[in-house]
Amino acid sequence: MIQSDYLIVGQGLAGTALAWTLIKRGYRVHILDRCEPITSSKIAAGLITPITGLRLVVSWRLDEFLPFATRFYRSVEQQTDTHFFELKPMLRLFSSEQEQEQYRERSQTHFPELVSVPEPLADPETFEISRGGFEMIGGQLDVPLYLDVTRRYFESRSWFQQAEIDPVNDLEFQATNVRLPRWNLQADKIIFCEGIHSQHNPWFRTIPFEGAKGEILTLKIPGLKERRVVHRGIWLAHWKEDLYRAGSTYHREQLDCEPTPAGREEICSRLSEFLKLPVEVIDHRAAVRPVIRGRLPIMGLHPEQPQIGFFNGFASKGSLQTPWMADHFSDILEGKVPLEKQLDLSRKLNF
Footprint on this chain of ligand FAD (rule: CB under 6 A): 9-15, 32-34, 36, 39-41, 43-47, 164-165, 193-197, 214, 216, 247-248, 287, 289-290, 312, 314-320
| Residue 112 CB, nearest approach to ligand FAD (Å) | 25
| CA 301 distance to own-chain centroid | 22
The residue among 23 and 196 lying less far from ligand FAD, judged by its C-beta, is 196
Burial of 344 (0-12, 13-18, 19+ CB in 10 A): middle
Based on CB atoms, which residue is closest to ligand FAD, 10 or 309? 10
Which amino acid does the sequence have at 68? F
Please say whether the beta carbons of 217 and 264 come within 8 A: yes
Query: Measured between alpha carbons, how far is 160 from 309 in angstroms, rounded to an integer?
Result: 19
DSSP assignment string, 287-299: EEE--BTTSS-EE
CB of 165 to ligand FAD, least distance (A): 4
Nearer to ligand FAD, 44 or 339 (CB): 44
Specify the residue, 285 or 333, whose C-beta has the smaller distance to ligand FAD.
285
**Residue 209 and residue 331: Cα distance in Å, rounded?**
25
Smallest separation, CB 140 to ligand FAD (Å): 8
Please state the closest distance from residue 315 (CB atom) to ligand FAD, in A: 6
Would you say 74 or 276 has its CB closer to ligand FAD?
A: 74
Q: What share of the chain is helix, strand, coil (3-state, %, to 5)?
A: 30, 30, 40
**Complex with ligand FAD: residue 36 or 155, whichever CB lies closer:** 36
Give the span between the Cα atoms of 52 and 234, in whole angstroms.
Answer: 10
| Range list of H helices, the chain | 13-24, 40-43, 62-80, 97-110, 143-156, 261-272, 318-333, 345-348
Smallest distance from ligand FAD to CB 259, Å? 10
In the bound complex, what is the minimum distance in angstroms from residue 106's beta carbon to ligand FAD?
23
Q: Give least dist CB 100 to ligand FAD, A.
A: 25
What is the Cα–Cα distance from 144 to 11, expressed in whole angstroms? 11
* Half-sphere CA count of 7, side-chain side, radius 13 A: 29
Instruction: Round to whole Å and give the CA distance between 115 and 214.
Output: 28
Nearest CB to ligand FAD, comparing residues 63 and 123: 63
Query: Between residues 38 and 117, which has the closer beta carbon with respect to ligand FAD?
Result: 38
Quote the CA–CA distance of 192 and 32 in Å, as a whole number. Answer: 10
* Minimum separation from the CB atom of position 275 to ligand FAD (A): 18
